[in-house]
Structure 1
Amino acid sequence: MIRLNETASGAGEEGSSPPLAPMVDVLFLLLVFLMLTANAAPLAAGIATPHSDIARAMTADPAVLEVQEAGWRFEAQRLEDDGALRAALTTVRANDPERPLVIAIDAAAPAQRLLDALDIASSAGFEGAEISVRRR
């Protein structure tokens, strides 16, 4: 219990009791915090991860697509437009359907280039790709 000094000036006046507003504010914020965090688990998004029987080891010779600022480099060959890249990926996929694809993006390249590469690889028949970031 909080006791006030009876000899203090203004004893018995309205301002002599301790302020309760800050304590009520803290309790209200604590209550809101607990209510919001109590429902955090059902709001979490589930991520589907591959099972061990589905995952396979990468072969020794993956197809490597380098995503650069100015263009594409596939199998050490520079490609300037998306159509040439799509044709090269389709040819590789038709020759060896089990060959994995590694997309190596330069750290300076914009993220849109990576999304374009994934879209082109998907349209060429690749179901997935490993992504690697190369720093300068």
Structure 2
Amino acid sequence: MSFRFADARPRRRPSLTPMIDVVFLLLVFFMLAARFGQEGALDLSLAGGGAGAWEGPPRLVQVEEQGLRLNGVARDEQGLIQALTGLVGSETDLILIQPDEGAALQRLLDTMALLQGAGFTNLALVEP
């Protein structure tokens, strides 16, 4: 009994085309999903530094964990805007913002965006 083995076939090399297609698809996906540029920025100045004398009534907005206070009196967002409108002579008057120790940064930024959206342009941050 004699055994005869089949002729050796040449080895097939795997095709790189599907792998290249996947790499390009991933590249296109990440390029489309990425965010380019800056979404937004708030102008911010730090209070202090020997600025001129304070003019007008006090305007201290305290940002707390659960609410807002204007000069120590609790206010909601609309009440804050209305009360500040009565305290400022012009929209360029300085408004001090003081975050509470437990207040989230996003809450502070939302409050500053609310004030800037209402037209108050001169905001200064005060240490807690």
TM-score (ref. length: structure 2) = 0.51
Q: Please name the residue that 1:92 is paired with.
A: 87
CA distance in 2, matches of 1:124, 1:132: 20
In structure 2, the partner of 1:129 is 123
Gaps in structure 2 of 5+ consecutive residues: 1-44, 46-50
Q: Deviations over 1:70-93 (max 9, x none)?
A: 1011022111x2111121222223
Q: Which runs of 4+ in 1 moved over 3 A?
A: none
Matched, 1:113 2:103: no
**Partner of 1:133: helix, strand, or coil?**
coil
Percent identical among aligned pairs is: 27
The aligned length equals 78
Q: Partners of 1:126 and 1:57 in 2: how far apart?
A: 19
Q: Secondary structure at the match of 1:69?
A: coil
What is the CA RMSD across the aligned residues, in angstroms? 2.5
Alignment of 1:1-136 (within 5 A): 57=52, 59=54, 62-79=58-75, 81-93=76-88, 96-97=89-90, 99-134=93-128
Matches of 1:128 and 1:108, distance apart in 2: 25
Give 1:110's aligned amino acid.
Answer: A
Aligned AA (1:86): I
Q: TM-score by structure 1 length?
A: 0.49
List per-residue Cα deviations over 1:5-54 (Å, max 9, x = no partner).
xxxxxxxxxxxxxxxxxxxxxxxxxxxxxxxxxxxxxxxxxxxxx9xxxx
Structure 1 unaligned residues grouped into runs of 5+: 1-49, 51-55
- Pick 1 or 2: higher relative contact order, CA cutoff 8 A, min separation 6: 2
Corresponding position of 2:16: none
SS in 2 for 1:84: helix
> Structure 1 or 2: larger helix share?
1
Whether the aligned pair in 2 keeps the contact of 1:74 and 1:85 (CA below 8 Å) is yes
User: Is the 8 Å Cα contact of residues 89 and 124 (structure 1) preserved in structure 2?
Assistant: no
Distance 1:100 1:113, change over 3 A: same
